[in-house]
């Protein structure tokens, strides 16, 4: 039965949300303008409307989730992003796999932030909420799905499949509902993808808060008062955006196959840039609070961070990136709307700033080189330049689009080696930042002159030199630029560490946010340097294969071909591929794929033999077991050192009908390094192309060659259990036998047992297939007079896997550094929010 109610309800909610957003903006505007007498009633009205908006926005989300959760595949969204086999937590990921869902998520966070702001502010409620409501109106319009003439506003997630599909089935039967959806992109079937998008979108949403305070401040002519309430939110925004970025990086590291955590892809850059600007804005805002300089810089940076988030959204979702990004979204026809959204707020911000520019207070005094303002300003400038360096080349597709839009031809392409290109700038900028944080922190806490600066810096300088020397020696860092990175990282850690200790001694821990965040930065720098700069590909092909051309010598082969059970030397390790495995529900270990025969039903299989793990039997032969996502195969790779098994990895791979081979790496985690293993090509398991028939005669006890394997014919056995013969069930008077063949493949003994049945005058043959060895054997005939058996066999190829492996040293320093940095942000939020509430409660704001 087609259910159109939920969709209509959701669509209706979207329209209500849109209308109420506009009314909220209008009524809060009136609230600001109203006389003291009328203020209270305007405020009550505005709040009620915003509550209705909130309920409608949450209603949109609930309606969409209901469609996914109840597998209503009559809706396009559920059909194209979900499927029946998905567990609930991945249904949540399907919710925001599509762009419409992502917009709903964004709307939802804005509602939450808006409700918090209404109840934590007095003076600022009106102006801030006008900006909020306008933003909401734009966001809701993205999912409105209203068509007026030729004008299409927004793309509704509640559209029915039959309304957009051209499949002929809908002409025959308009009420047709597909049995299952096309499923969730397997790369997104990862726990980090359940929490990464909400975090990132909360980060996106929260950049609105400082922007809204700023706009309110300019419009209300409170040119400097907006900083205090905006500051904790700016830090919050930087923390959440940073957290979103790190989660994305971590997800890429554990799920994607490019062998790292950061690829300088346009989609990544698009979030990194607003984050840098937001961090710069925090610093100038803090300086302003201390010494009333840098207010204009703060204003520019806060506007830039908000607009850059919108620009990022435009880049990623308008389709303009086209073929320059691996994961840009398709154009839903929203690019025009996104552009208007961005330009609208850019225009308002520029208009208000220019109008009020001359009234904005500035400090006449020039900052001294020995003042903290000077150093923080240099730091903020460095952050700004970093952002500029990234956004400039990332926007190349936009220039092309503009030039082509004007009728010209542009053949500019993004840099071919993205990682090398961005790293050569970002690395040195980051080194400069690390040094600045070290020096800047001393200025922050003390008034300094030349002599004092020297005295204070000497101790941390010496300590950091010693620390750096130890790291360089132990980590064998002999590259000059990496040595500089270590020095800078060590300096910032030591310098900020010494300040942190002082603050803790003085029992003023809540002031320590800055030093903690900067220590984190130093660790991130060192962690990135080691894990990327010294990432060592150990899967260098040393097989000495013949196919070579002169220029091929320069190319490193970073993949190795591993035949099953055949050891291969890879740097310090001997590696053996042991076959394809599956994950079975309730079984602690992976289960070999050839023990399972899949059934028609999704994720169900029959055990072809007893399934044992850790000395316990989990399923007996013939039992039906359920596989955890049957498309996923895990390739068992054993790592040996000096003939001793050190560890076993199970990198995952899935041949996906729409996306090709999807692989996720598996890593051995040590405290000081990760050993990362990733599958790059696999055998074809679906339909092997068997080669032509070959025949061998053999007597029990004899041996012969099959596909170059020495095969022992150990003997025969009468079959009494009728189950064994599968379809040909045993009857009275039948004779069934099994031939026992064994093959030694390196250190593994394989048993192959074809069966033969005689019923009346007819014979039945049951072939035995060994997919590891790539052999199919049948008893073709029995020659009683000679006492021999005729075996018919076909060969394919042995099972194999092509994989890549690398060692990533000290990657944990990077992760730990990010956690410390986030903790620093958290501490700073607490402190700044505390300042704000104190002022507010005094009735000053």
Partner 1 sequence: MKKGHIIGLGIIGVAIMIIITSIGDASTYESFSTARMLASNGDEKAIHVVGQLKKNDLGEVIGLEVHEDKTSFTFLMVDNDGEEQQVYYNEPVPADFSRSEQVVVIGSFKNEKMFVADKILMKCPSKYQETDVKEASL
CB of 662 to partner 1, least distance (A): 8
Please tell me whether residue 189 binds partner 1 under the rule CB under 8 A. Answer: no
- Residue 388 or 830: which CB sits closer to partner 1? 388
- Contact by Cβ (8 Å): 617, 584: no
Which one of the spans 109-117, 176-184, 209-217, 829-837 is the region binding partner 1 (CB under 8 A)?
176-184
What distance in Å separates the CA atoms of residue 106 and residue 101, rounded to the nearest whole number? 9
Give whole-number Cα distances, 160 to 6, 79, 164, in Å: 11, 10, 7
Which three-class secondary structure state does DSSP give residue 516?
helix
Q: Which of residues 253-312 bind partner 1 (CB under 8 A)?
A: none
CB of 269 to partner 1, least distance (A): 13
* Secondary structure letter of residue 258 according to DSSP: S
- Contact by Cβ (8 Å): 782, 757: no
Which one of the spans 41-49, 107-115, 609-617, 651-659 is the region binding partner 1 (CB under 8 A)?
651-659
Q: Which of residues 676-715 bind partner 1 (CB under 8 A)?
A: 680-681
CB of 506 to partner 1, least distance (A): 33
Q: Which residue has the tokens 């979207």?
A: 14
CB of 421 to partner 1, least distance (A): 5
- Residue 421 or 461: which CB sits closer to partner 1? 421
Contacting residue, 191, 343, 661, 735, with partner 1 by CB under 8 A: 661
Beta strands in 451-570 (DSSP E): 536-537, 560-563, 568-570
- Residue 73 or 306: which CB sits closer to partner 1? 73
Total site size for partner 1, rule CB under 8 A: 62
- Contact by Cβ (8 Å): 75, 63: no
β-sheet with 788-795: strand ranges across: 694-698, 788-795, 775-783, 768-770
Please tell me whether residue 402 binds partner 1 under the rule CB under 8 A. Answer: no
DSSP secondary structure, 542-600, as one string: -S--S---GGGGGSPP--EEEEBT--EEETTEEEEEEEEEE-BTT-SS-EEGGGEEE-S
CB of 73 to partner 1, least distance (A): 9
* Secondary structure letter of residue 692 according to DSSP: -
Please tell me whether residue 545 binds partner 1 under the rule CB under 8 A. Answer: yes
Please tell me whether residue 415 binds partner 1 under the rule CB under 8 A. Answer: yes
CB of 596 to partner 1, least distance (A): 22
For the chain, the residue count is 845
Structure tokens at 755: 């069966």
Residue 784 backbone phi and psi in degrees, to 5 = -60, -40
Contacting residue, 89, 122, 174, 180, with partner 1 by CB under 8 A: 180
Instruction: Tell me which residue of 239, 254, 238 sits closest to 192, measured CA to CA.
Output: 254
* Secondary structure letter of residue 366 according to DSSP: P
Contacting residue, 659, 710, 744, 844, with partner 1 by CB under 8 A: 659
- Residue 394 or 464: which CB sits closer to partner 1? 394
What distance in Å separates the CA atoms of residue 240 and residue 516, rounded to the nearest whole number? 16
Which three-class secondary structure state does DSSP give residue 747?
coil
What distance in Å separates the CA atoms of residue 317 and residue 542, rounded to the nearest whole number? 44
Instruction: Tell me which residue of 721, 718, 712, 687 sits closest to 777, measured CA to CA.
Output: 712
Contacting residue, 555, 686, 732, 843, with partner 1 by CB under 8 A: 555
Please tell me whether residue 80 binds partner 1 under the rule CB under 8 A. Answer: yes
- Residue 535 or 697: which CB sits closer to partner 1? 535
Bridge partners for 345 per DSSP: none
Please tell me whether residue 425 binds partner 1 under the rule CB under 8 A. Answer: yes
Give whole-number Cα distances, 617 to 586, 612, 614, in Å: 11, 4, 8
- Residue 206 or 297: which CB sits closer to partner 1? 297
- Contact by Cβ (8 Å): 289, 231: yes
Q: Which of residues 368-397 bind partner 1 (CB under 8 A)?
A: 369, 377-378, 381, 385, 388-389, 392-393, 396
CB of 110 to partner 1, least distance (A): 26
Bridge partners for 165 per DSSP: none
Which one of the spans 162-170, 274-282, 356-364, 765-773 is the region binding partner 1 (CB under 8 A)?
162-170
Structure tokens at 128: 């801030």
Residues near 65 by beta carbon (within 8 Å), at least 6 away in sequence: 91, 92, 95
Contacting residue, 150, 166, 600, 721, with partner 1 by CB under 8 A: 166
- Residue 608 or 681: which CB sits closer to partner 1? 681
Instruction: Tell me which residue of 359, 194, 210, 182 sits closest to 282, measured CA to CA.
Output: 210
3-state secondary structure 195-251: HHHHHHHHHHHHCHHHHHHHHHHHHCCCCCCCHHHHHHHHHHHHHHHHHHHHHHHHH
- Residue 346 or 802: which CB sits closer to partner 1? 802
Contacting residue, 151, 506, 551, 733, with partner 1 by CB under 8 A: 551
CB of 257 to partner 1, least distance (A): 10
Contacting residue, 412, 466, 735, 751, with partner 1 by CB under 8 A: 412
Site track 302-341 with partner 1 (rule: CB under 8 A), x = hit: ---------------------x--x--xx-----------
Residue 735 backbone phi and psi in degrees, to 5 = -120, 125
Contacting residue, 2, 9, 30, 178, with partner 1 by CB under 8 A: 178
CB of 325 to partner 1, least distance (A): 9
Contacting residue, 30, 120, 182, 603, with partner 1 by CB under 8 A: 182
DSSP secondary structure, 48-64, as one string: HHHHHHHHHHHHHHHHH
Structure tokens at 403: 């030039």
Q: Which of residues 86-145 bind partner 1 (CB under 8 A)?
A: none
Which one of the spans 125-133, 148-156, 513-521, 551-559 is the region binding partner 1 (CB under 8 A)?
551-559
CB of 557 to partner 1, least distance (A): 5
- Residue 178 or 688: which CB sits closer to partner 1? 178
Q: Which of residues 792-811 bind partner 1 (CB under 8 A)?
A: 800, 802
CB of 286 to partner 1, least distance (A): 20
- Residue 416 or 718: which CB sits closer to partner 1? 416
Please tell me whether residue 537 binds partner 1 under the rule CB under 8 A. Answer: no
- Residue 148 or 409: which CB sits closer to partner 1? 409
Please tell me whether residue 169 binds partner 1 under the rule CB under 8 A. Answer: yes
What distance in Å separates the CA atoms of residue 263 and residue 243, rounded to the nearest whole number? 17
Structure tokens at 463: 């300590």
Contacting residue, 119, 507, 549, 842, with partner 1 by CB under 8 A: 549
Contacting residue, 660, 733, 784, 787, with partner 1 by CB under 8 A: 660
What distance in Å separates the CA atoms of residue 303 and residue 362, rounded to the nearest whole number? 18
Please tell me whether residue 79 binds partner 1 under the rule CB under 8 A. Answer: yes
Structure tokens at 439: 């020096």
- Residue 414 or 764: which CB sits closer to partner 1? 414
- Residue 257 or 437: which CB sits closer to partner 1? 257
- Contact by Cβ (8 Å): 118, 47: yes
Please tell me whether residue 546 binds partner 1 under the rule CB under 8 A. Answer: yes
What distance in Å separates the CA atoms of residue 753 and residue 791, rounded to the nearest whole number? 11
Residue 391 backbone phi and psi in degrees, to 5 = -75, -30
Which one of the spans 443-451, 539-547, 617-625, 633-641 is the region binding partner 1 (CB under 8 A)?
539-547
List contacts with partner 1 (CB under 8 A): 79-80, 161, 164-167, 169, 178-180, 182, 185, 323, 326, 329-330, 366, 369, 377-378, 381, 385, 388-389, 392-393, 396, 411-417, 421, 425, 541, 543, 545-547, 549, 551-552, 555-561, 655-656, 658-661, 680-681, 800, 802
């Amino acid at each position: 039965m087609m259910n159109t109610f939920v969709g209509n309800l959701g669509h209706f909610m979207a329209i209500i949300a849109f209308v109420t957003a506009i009314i909220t903006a209008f009524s809060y505007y009136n609230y600001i303008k109203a006389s003291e007498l009328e203020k209270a009633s305007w405020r009550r009205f505005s709040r009620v409307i915003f509550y209705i908006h909130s309920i409608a926005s949450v209603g949109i989300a609930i309606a969409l989730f209901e469609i996914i959760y109840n597998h209503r595949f009559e809706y396009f969204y559920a059909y194209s992003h979900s499927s029946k086999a998905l567990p609930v937590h991945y249904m949540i990921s399907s919710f925001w796999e599509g762009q419409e869902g992502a917009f709903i998520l964004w709307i939802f966070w804005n509602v939450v932030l808006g409700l918090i702001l209404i109840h934590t502010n007095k003076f600022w409620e009106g102006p801030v909420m006008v900006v909020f409501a306008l933003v909401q109106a734009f966001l809701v319009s993205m999912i409105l799905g209203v068509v007026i003439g030729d004008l299409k506003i927004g793309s509704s997630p509640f559209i029915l499949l039959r309304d957009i599909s051209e499949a002929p089935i809908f002409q025959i039967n308009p009420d047709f509902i597909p049995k299952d959806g096309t499923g969730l992109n397997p790369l997104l079937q990862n726990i980090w993808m359940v929490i990464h998008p909400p975090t990132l979108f909360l980060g996106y949403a929260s950049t609105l808060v400082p922007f809204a305070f700023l706009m309110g401040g300019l419009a209300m002519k409170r040119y400097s008062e907006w900083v205090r309430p905006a500051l904790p939110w700016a830090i919050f925004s930087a923390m959440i955006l940073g957290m979103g970025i790190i989660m994305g990086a971590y997800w890429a590291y554990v799920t994607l196959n490019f062998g790292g955590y950061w690829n300088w892809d346009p989609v990544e850059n698009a979030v990194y840039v607003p984050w840098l600007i937001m961090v710069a804005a925090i610093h100038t805002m803090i300086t302003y609070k201390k010494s009333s300089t840098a207010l204009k810089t703060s204003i520019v940076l806060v506007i830039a961070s908000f607009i850059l988030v919108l620009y990022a959204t435009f880049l990623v979702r308008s389709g303009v990136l086209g073929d320059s990004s691996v994961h840009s979204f398709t154009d839903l026809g929203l690019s025009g709307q996104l552009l208007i959204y961005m330009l609208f707020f850019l225009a308002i911000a520029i208009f208000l700033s220019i109008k009020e520019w001359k009234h904005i207070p500035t400090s006449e005094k020039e900052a001294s080189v020995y003042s903290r303002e000077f150093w923080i300003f240099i730091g903020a400038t460095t952050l700004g330049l970093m952002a500029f360096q990234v956004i400039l080349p990332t926007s190349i597709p936009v220039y092309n689009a503009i030039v082509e839009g004007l009728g010209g031809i542009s053949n500019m392409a993004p840099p071919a080696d993205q990682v090398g290109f961005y790293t050569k700038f970002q690395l040195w900028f980051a080194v400069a930042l690390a040094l600045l944080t070290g020096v800047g922190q001393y200025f922050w806490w003390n008034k300094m002159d030349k002599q004092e600066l020297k005295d204070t810096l000497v101790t941390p300088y010496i300590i950091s030199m010693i620390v750096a020397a130890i790291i360089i020696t132990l980590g064998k860092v002999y590259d000059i630029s990496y040595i500089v990175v270590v020095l800078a990282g060590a300096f910032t850690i030591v310098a900020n560490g010494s300040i942190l200790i002082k603050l803790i001694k003085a029992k003023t821990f809540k002031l320590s946010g800055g030093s903690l965040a900067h220590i984190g930065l130093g660790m991130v720098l060192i962690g990135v340097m080691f894990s990327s700069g010294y990432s060592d590909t150990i899967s260098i092909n040393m097989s000495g294969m013949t196919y070579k051309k002169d220029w091929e010598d320069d190319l490193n082969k970073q993949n190795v071909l591993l035949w099953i059970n055949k050891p291969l030397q890879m740097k310090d390790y001997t590696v053996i591929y042991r076959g394809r495995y599956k994950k079975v529900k309730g079984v602690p270990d992976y289960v070999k794929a050839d023990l399972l025969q899949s059934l028609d039903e999704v994720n169900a299989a029959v055990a072809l033999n007893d399934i044992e793990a850790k000395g316990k039997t989990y399923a007996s032969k013939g039992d039906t077991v359920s596989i955890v996502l049957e498309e996923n195969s895990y390739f068992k790779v054993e790592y040996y050192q000096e003939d001793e098994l050190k560890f076993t990895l199970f990198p995952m791979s899935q041949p996906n009908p729409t996306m090709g081979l999807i692989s996720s790496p598996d890593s051995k985690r040590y405290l000081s390094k990760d050993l990362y293993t990733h599958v790059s090509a696999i055998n074809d398991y679906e339909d092997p192309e068997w080669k032509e028939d070959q025949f061998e005669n053999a007597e029990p006890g004899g041996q012969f060659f099959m596909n170059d394997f020495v095969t022992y014919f150990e003997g025969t056995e009468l079959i009494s259990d009728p189950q064994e013969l599968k379809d040909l069930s045993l009857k009275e008077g039948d004779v069934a036998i099994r031939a026992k063949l064994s093959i030694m493949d390196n250190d593994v003994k394989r048993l192959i047992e074809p069966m033969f049945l005689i019923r009346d005058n007819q014979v039945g043959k049951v072939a035995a297939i060994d997919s590891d060895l790539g052999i199919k054997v049948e008893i073709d005939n029995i020659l009683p007079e000679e006492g021999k058996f005729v075996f018919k066999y076909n060969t394919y190829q042995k099972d194999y896997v092509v994989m890549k492996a690398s060692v990533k040293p000290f990657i944990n320093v990077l992760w730990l550094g990010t956690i410390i940095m986030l903790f620093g942000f958290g501490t700073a939020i607490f402190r700044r929010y505390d300042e704000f509430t104190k002022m507010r409660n005094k009735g000053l704001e």
